[in-house]
A and B are shown apart, each in its own frame.
Chain A
Amino acid sequence: MAMRGENFRFWLPVVLLSAFALYSAQKLVRTHLSSKVAAPNYMFTRRLPARRGTIYDGGATPVPLAKSVPFWEYRLDPVALTNRVVKPRGKPRRTPEEIQATIADALHIDRGRIAAMCRNTSKRYQFLAMSSDPDAHAVIADSRQVAGVAIEDRQVRQYLHDRCLSHVVGSVNAAGEPSAGIELKFNAELTGVPGLVRGKKNAIGSELYDKRIEEVAPIPGSDVYLTVDNALQYDVETLLARGVREFGAGSGWCVVLDAKTAAVLAMASLPDFHPLSYGRASDAEKINRTVNFTYEPGSVMKVITAATALDMGIVKPDTLYDTRRNDERYHKLPGDGSHVWEPRMTVADAIVHSSNIVIGKLGCDIGPARLWNSMRAFGFGQRTGVELPGEESGILRDWRRWDVLTWSRAPIGQGVSVTALQIACAYQAIANDGRRMKPHIVERIVAADGTESYRHVPKVAATPVSKGTARTMREIMLGVASPAGTARRAAIKGYSVSGKTGTAQKVVNGRYADGLYRATFCGIVPSGVVKLRPEDEEPVPPRIVVLVTLDFDSRAKYHQGGNSAAPVFRLVAMAALRRLEVEPDRPDELVDDFGDGELDAILDERARRRPLER
C-alpha cells in the first residue's frame, strides 16, 4: 500500500502538468499557427484599401487638385427588403413601400426607380447610389427604418477643379487604375500600401469587431505637390479658351515657365477632358499638346539660329545681309512677305521683321554640324525630362542626313519638329543668361507620415550660349513686341517684352497645306535688359517665359503669330505678372495712365518736401 501511495503522489503532478502542457500547446497552435491550418468558416480575411495620396498645386497655400474622399456605396437587395421585418419601437411593422420611400427620399432617388428594382427579385445587390452625405447615411444605416440595403465603404477620386489642369493631373477610374498625367506617372507613390484584417464573423456573416485576431492598418499614399499655380492656371485656361474661340482656331496650347528655374507655372491644352469621363473623351481631347505632340515651330526657331551665330562670333547684331534669293541654296525659300522691303538688313532687323531669307542665309553660314549641335544644346530632338508621361522627343535628324535645302530650312523652323515645352525651355535658356534648366512640374512628394521622399533640385541641363549672347538676343527680341516689330500686340504696359512670333504652315499628307497654319508667340517678361533706375547695376531680371500656340484647322483671317497668338500671349502674361506680383521694369508707362497733371503735382510736391525730410 505504501508503494502504491508513493506512486500516486509521484504521478499525479506529472499527469496534471502534462495535461496542462498539452492544453497550452494546443492553444498555442490554434492561436499562432492557425495560418497553416485550414481556416474555419467563421474566420475571414479582408484587405483594407489604402487612401490614395492627394495632388496639390504649387501656390503659397497648396490647394488640392485631386483627392480621394471616403464615400458609401449602397446596393439594394430586393429579397431582403421585402422579407425582413422592420419594426420601429412602439410603431407597427413598416411595409416594403414605406421602406422604399425612405430610401428614395434619403438618397434623392426617384421612387419609381427603386420600385422597379425591387420588382426584379432575380438580381440581388443592385447598385443604388454613392453618397458622402452623413445624414443620408444615418437614415440608411438605421436597421429600425430600413432593410435590404448593403453598405460598402469606398474611396472615390474627386477632381475638385473639373477640367482645369486635366492633362497634367490625369485620371483614375473606379477600379483605381490611372490613365494619364501625374496620376499615371506617380501611381506607385500615390497608391500606398493596403492593410489587412483577420477575425471572426457571426452566423449571418457580420464581422465581430471584438474578435479580430490580426489588424494591420493601411499606409496612405504620398501627396504630390506640383509647381503649377491653380489660380494662374484657371486664368490661363480661360484666356486661352477665349483666344481659341475668338480667332477661330481648332485647338490651342500654352505653357508658362519660371524663367530662372524652368518650373512649370501653368500648362494648358485645348480641347481638354473631364477627368471623371476620361474613358469617353476623344483622342483629340486626351492629348496634352504641350508635351505629347510635335509640330514644325516656324519662325520661333530663328532666335535659336541667331543666338548660335552671335555666340560663335560669326556675325554681330548689326551685320548686314542681302535680302535677295541670290543662291541656289535659298531656292524656294519662303519669301518675306510685305513686311520686309529693305534690300539689305541687319541680323537684329531680321529677327524683328522675321526675315526667312536672312536667317536662312545665316543658318548656311553657321553650317549644319554647328547648327545641329546648338539645337541639341537648346534641347531639341530629345525629351526635356519633365515629370509627365508620354513626352515626345521631337524630330531633329542628324546633320549628316540633311540635304542642301534643309541647311536653309532648319534655321527658320522647317524640317524639324518640336514640342511646345522644348521651345519654351529653349527660350528659358535665353532668359536665364544662357543656362537651360531641366523643366519640372513636381516640386516635392510627401509621405503620409510627413517625411519628404522627393524634392526637386534645380539642375542645369545645358549652357547653349553665353550670358552676353543671351542678353544681346533679349535686346534684339525687344523689337519684336515694339510698334516696328511683327508682334506689337504682344506689348504689355509697364513691362518690357522680348519675344518672337512664328507662323508655321501645317503639313497635310506630306505637303504644306495652303491656308492652314499654326500661330505661335513665345516671349520673356520682363525682358531682363531694362534697368528700373539709371543708377542700377543690373536690369530687372526676367521672371516668366510664356508660349502660346493656336492651331487653325481651317482658313482664318488672323492666322499669323503676331495677330492671333501675340494678343493671347499678352493677356496670359499680364495675368501671370499680376498673380506673381512681378515689379514693372517700365513703370513710367503705367504712371502715364493717370494723366490730367495730377502726377506732375504729386511729383512736384514730393520734390519740394524731400529736402526738409532729410
Chain B
Amino acid sequence: MKRNRRVTRRMSVMATGSMYIGAVMLTLFVMVIVNHLAASSCTQLKKTIGDRRRELDALENERLREQARWDGMTTPQRLDAALLRHGMKMRDPDPARQIVRLSRATGQPIRCQASVEIARARAASVTSQTARYDGGRGAIRR
C-alpha cells in the first residue's frame, strides 16, 4: 500500500506538469494563430481602405479639374468672347429700366416707380384687353 501510494503521488506530479506545459503551449499557439488572423484581416482592411482612399483622391482630383474647367469657361471675359463668336452682344439695361431694391420702401409710390408702371402697362395692354373683351358691344371693361 505504501508503494502504491508513492507511485500514485509521483504520477500526480507528472500529470500536473504536463497539463501546465500543455496549457501554456496551447495558449501560445492560440495567441499566435489569433495574432496572425487579426494581422491578416488588418492587412486586408488596410489594403481596402488604401484602395478606396486612392479612388476618392482620384475622383476629388477629377472634380477639381472639371470645376476649374467650368470656372474658366464662365468668366466674364470668356462669356463675352463666346457671345461675340455667335454674333451676339449683350448690354445692360438703361438706368431708367433697371429695377432696383429700395432700402426703405414704404409702400407709397415714388416717381421712379412710374417706369415700372409703364412697363406693366405696356405688358398688360395686349393680354388684359384681349381677355376682357366682351364681344359684340365693342367695349373694354376696366
Cβ of A84 < 8 Å from any Cβ of B?
Answer: no
Residues of B within 8 A of A533 (CB): 108, 110
Q: Which of the segments B1-9, B67-75, B82-90, B133-141 contacts the partner chain? A: B67-75
Residues of A within 8 A of B75 (CB): 63, 160-162, 164, 230, 234
Query: Could you name 24 residue pairs across A and B whose Cβ atoms are closer than 8 Å?
Result: A6-B17, A9-B21, A17-B24, A67-B68, A70-B61, A132-B65, A132-B69, A161-B75, A164-B77, A209-B54, A210-B46, A210-B50, A230-B76, A231-B76, A494-B95, A494-B96, A583-B101, A583-B112, A587-B112, A590-B96, A591-B96, A591-B114, A591-B115, A599-B118
Residue of A134, A160, A603 near B114 (CB, 8 A) is A603
Residues of B within 8 A of A215 (CB): 50
The answer to whether A591 and B62 have CB atoms under 8 Å apart is no
Residue of B21, B50, B108, B112 near A13 (CB, 8 A) is B21
Minimum CB–CB distance from B2 to chain A (whole Å) comes to 18
Given contacts A160-B72, A594-B118, contact A578 B95 (CB under 8 A): yes
Given contacts A210-B47, A606-B109, contact A590 B28 (CB under 8 A): no
| 9 closest Cβ pairs, A-B complex | A587-B112, A70-B61, A234-B76, A590-B96, A69-B68, A210-B47, A593-B96, A9-B17, A581-B100
Minimum CB–CB distance from A65 to chain B (whole Å) comes to 9
Residues of A within 8 A of B115 (CB): 590-591, 594
Given contacts A210-B47, A234-B77, A590-B95, contact A20 B112 (CB under 8 A): no
Residues of B within 8 A of A9 (CB): 17-18, 21
A478-511 CB contacts (< 8 Å) to partner B: 493-494
Complex CA gap A162/B115 in Å reads: 39
**Chain B residues proximal to chain A, CB less than 8 Å:** 17-18, 20-21, 24-25, 28, 43, 46-47, 50-51, 54, 61-62, 64-65, 68-69, 71-72, 75-77, 92, 94-96, 98, 100-104, 108-112, 114-115, 117-118, 121
The answer to whether B72 and A158 have CB atoms under 8 Å apart is yes
Complex CA gap A132/B47 in Å reads: 27
Residues of B within 8 A of A234 (CB): 75-77
Taking CB as reference atom, which chain B residue is nearest A163?
A: B77
Cβ of A344 < 8 Å from any Cβ of B?
Answer: no
Minimum CB–CB distance from B84 to chain A (whole Å) comes to 13
Cβ of A212 < 8 Å from any Cβ of B?
Answer: yes
Given contacts A532-B110, A584-B112, A602-B121, contact A134 B71 (CB under 8 A): no
Complex CA gap A12/B111 in Å reads: 107
Residues of A within 8 A of B114 (CB): 591, 594, 599, 602-603, 606
Cβ of A98 < 8 Å from any Cβ of B?
Answer: no
Cβ of A588 < 8 Å from any Cβ of B?
Answer: yes
Complex CA gap A164/B92 in Å reads: 20
Residues of B within 8 A of A70 (CB): 61, 64-65
A153-182 CB contacts (< 8 Å) to partner B: 158, 160-162, 164
A217-237 CB contacts (< 8 Å) to partner B: 230-231, 234
Residues of B within 8 A of A17 (CB): 24, 28
Cβ of A582 < 8 Å from any Cβ of B?
Answer: yes
Residues of B within 8 A of A43 (CB): none
The answer to whether B76 and A493 have CB atoms under 8 Å apart is no
Residues of A within 8 A of B102 (CB): 583
Minimum CB–CB distance from A563 to chain B (whole Å) comes to 23
The answer to whether B98 and A578 have CB atoms under 8 Å apart is yes
Cβ of A318 < 8 Å from any Cβ of B?
Answer: no
The answer to whether B96 and A20 have CB atoms under 8 Å apart is no
Complex CA gap A212/B42 in Å reads: 13
A65-101 CB contacts (< 8 Å) to partner B: 67, 69-70
Residue of A69, A209, A577, A591 near B112 (CB, 8 A) is A591
Cβ of A598 < 8 Å from any Cβ of B?
Answer: yes
Given A16-B28, A583-B100; 12 other pairs, CB 8 A cutoff: A20-B28, A70-B65, A160-B68, A209-B51, A210-B43, A210-B46, A532-B110, A574-B95, A581-B100, A590-B96, A602-B117, A602-B118
The answer to whether A134 and B62 have CB atoms under 8 Å apart is yes
Cβ of A194 < 8 Å from any Cβ of B?
Answer: no
Complex CA gap A587/B98 in Å reads: 12
Residues of B within 8 A of A209 (CB): 47, 50-51, 54
Complex CA gap A532/B111 in Å reads: 9
